Amino acid sequence: MAEQMRVNQFSRVGRRRAWMLALLLPALTACTSGDTSNGGGSSEGGGSSPGLYDYWLNATQLRTQVRDDFSSSFASNVGRYSHFSHVWLFTPNTNSSGGMAQDSANSTLLYINSNHFYRLASYGSSLLQPVQVSSEGTADGICSWHGPQRQTPDNLRAVFKYRLPGSDRSCYSADDVFREIRLDMGSSDVPQTISLDRFRADEIYAANGDLAGYLVAAAAGGIYWYDASFANPRQIAAASGVSDANAGFIALANSPDGRYRLLQLQGSGVFVLDIQTQTMNKVAENSNIDSLGYYAGNFYLAQSINGAAKSALRVPVDGSLVGQAFLTGLDQVPGIAGEYLVYQKNNASGTDIYSLNLGLDGASARLIKRLDAQEQVSLAGGRLYYTVRTLSGGIVSSVQALSLLPDGSDEFAFSNGIWVGRDYRNGEQPNYPLLASDHMYLAQDVKFSGNGVWSGGRLSWVHAATGRLGGNIGALPANVYAYRFASSDSFNTVLGLGYSADAKTTYYLRANRLLGKVASIDQSPTDNNYRWKGDWSVAP
């Protein structure tokens, strides 16, 4: 099932449509050494100091370096790639409640190399090597794929479904071929030929990790449930037919016990699926939807129809009622912090920040902060984080990085500072789909260009739950502009990207809290696909 995550710095990734629609991305090529992987964990081989390997793309190379190795700036080439990214990153989801867990040390890349699929593990005692997955020999020619569920109980059980042209060698014609591979396949394992319905199917796992069955949005219309053997289909909800590209369900939220799943099907609406009874109820019309999470028996959504102002919807966890709008006319909805729903409205000159205590029946929203400019608010550690810029003659003259609690108390400010990142907890996520963040990243004494873009400065880290300084890390190179850090927190290191003044070069950055070091380890042409690939919270 297509995952719904908040992964970008200070912005909510409302839906994964862009990723799911990326159907014709060119291929990646790499070397084809023997199997040194255990299928998603560490590699076999020599060496006494296992490490987490990060992966990124640079020009025609797939490159790697151990995350916590700051003693050397040397990066290794894993292999070449010929085009942009046929790259999919999988990580085990071991949360028994049906929520979310991330495990950077056991993630696995799947990608295409010269007509073959390869997997590449993320953790090992020596430089990891790609392993061919299945005997598929025409992978360069795939027409499209069904967005895979990339958080599964076990990477070995993960599957990838793709579409190939048939004998007429033309994509999207009547004789197209649909196939499925598992990540644990070896080079001699033959891909399984599957039906169109199975190609469009999303695997549904129960809270205990077992495969419960499949959801299929049928091309002719209707949503169907298939059992774990992909048999005995029965229609469980009405829906219009959708294209293959939009046939994947976007996971918006889970109930704490994993029984109920809030799902969006592009073109059809938002539904609650009951895993126990395999029934489904429609709770909202299709629109621009952002998931705000779960609280006290309800799912919460921010909905914008036809680009209008947002409304906040409350949906009973069992889907017994359609979503009801209880707040309207909202400009931004950062999300839920503890028992508080936080939202923003633009005033005549700036932004008003409100919070509503969801735990108090009949409570009214409170204005907790008025800003003189339109700023974006982010939530982390139960606090609100935002940067305030003061302009003089159109140029930034001063800046402050602030945070406060959602009840409006305990405001704390860093003068001449801006928030430039966060890390995400590597492990259980208590409020899926919101990723827990334990540390914020602060830059001070940065320099601003005439168009308001910052560079240089000193990087520090802050305890997300208190907003107070935790420690200094180091100085950023003066030539790195508009940098942001956002990745899982593994070995005290967070990953980031920065850019050159002319925006033609991307810099790959790392910062380590424990070592107090920040480094630029590589650079590449600027493009949306030149970015980290080995950490799912920052991978495309």
Is 206 in a helix, a strand, or coil? coil
How sure is the predictor about 59, in pLDDT bands with cuts at 50, 70 and 90?
confident
Is pLDDT at 225 greater than 60 in this prediction? yes
Cα gap 457→444, rounded to integer Å? 5
Select from 514, 528, 524 the least CA-distant residue to 67: 514
Distance of CA 508 to the CA centre of its chain: 19
How sure is the predictor about 65, in pLDDT bands with cuts at 50, 70 and 90?
very high
Residue pointed to by tokens 């159907």: 23
Amino acid 528: pLDDT: 66
309-351 pLDDT, tens digit per residue, is 999 999 999 999 999 999 999 999 999 999 999 999 998 888 9
Whole-number percent of the chain with pLDDT over 90: 59
279-294 pLDDT, tens digit per residue, is 999 999 988 999 998 8
Is pLDDT at 167 greater than 70 in this prediction? yes
How sure is the predictor about 263, in pLDDT bands with cuts at 50, 70 and 90?
very high
Cα gap 144→179, rounded to integer Å? 11
Which residues on adjacent β-strands are paired with residue 235? 224
Q: In sequence order, what DSSP letters do the residues of 475-518 get, joined into one string?
A: EPPTT-EEEEEEEE-BTTEEEEEEE-TTS-EEEEEEEETTTTEE
Is pLDDT at 464 greater than 60 in this prediction? yes
Amino acid 54: pLDDT: 93
**Beta strands in 285-411, from DSSP E residues, in sequence order:** 288-295, 298-304, 310-316, 324-330, 332-337, 340-346, 351-357, 366-371, 378-380, 383-392, 395-404
Is pLDDT at 172 greater than 80 in this prediction? yes
Helix H or strand E segment including 217: strand 211-217
Amino acid 98: pLDDT: 62
Q: Which two tokens stand for residue 18?
A: 């862009």
Mean pLDDT score, 490-499: 92
Mean pLDDT score, 94-114: 80
Average of per-residue pLDDT values in the chain = 85
Give the list of residues 6+ apart from residue 181 with CB closer than 8 angstroms, or none.
117, 133, 134, 136, 159, 160, 162, 189, 191, 192
Amino acid 14: pLDDT: 32
Amino acid 103: pLDDT: 82
How sure is the predictor about 10, in pLDDT bands with cuts at 50, 70 and 90?
very low
Which of 172-181, 387-396, 489-498 has the highest mean predicted lDDT (pLDDT)? 172-181
Amino acid 426: pLDDT: 86
232 exposure class (CB count in 10 Å sphere: 0-12, 13-18, 19+): exposed
Is pLDDT at 24 greater than 90 in this prediction? no
Distance of CA 50 to the CA centre of its chain: 26
Q: Where is average pLDDT lowest: 4-18, 118-132, 503-517?
A: 4-18
* Radius of gyration of the chain measured on its C-alpha atoms: 23
Amino acid 510: pLDDT: 94
Select from 208, 314, 320 the least CA-distant residue to 258: 208
Mean pLDDT score, 217-235: 96
More confident position, 258 or 408: 408
The pTM score is: 0.87
Residues 496/485, Cβ–Cβ less than 8 Å: yes
Is pLDDT at 164 greater than 50 in this prediction? yes
Whole-number percent of the chain with pLDDT over 70: 87
Give the list of residues 6+ apart from residue 327 with CB closer than 8 angstroms, or none.
311, 312, 341, 343, 356, 365
Amino acid 96: pLDDT: 67
Mean pLDDT score, 59-79: 84
Residues 115/137, Cβ–Cβ less than 8 Å: yes
Amino acid 432: pLDDT: 65
Residue 34's CB is within 10 A of a number of other CB atoms, namely 11
Residues 533/539, Cβ–Cβ less than 8 Å: yes
403-436 pLDDT, tens digit per residue, is 999 999 999 999 999 999 999 988 777 766 678 8
Is pLDDT at 253 greater than 70 in this prediction? yes
Q: Tell me how far CA of residue 383 lies from CA of 296, 337, 355, 422, in angstroms.
A: 20, 7, 12, 13
Cα gap 202→242, rounded to integer Å? 14
Is 406 in a helix, a strand, or coil? coil
Amino acid 94: pLDDT: 74
Is 415 in a helix, a strand, or coil? strand
Mean pLDDT score, 42-66: 71
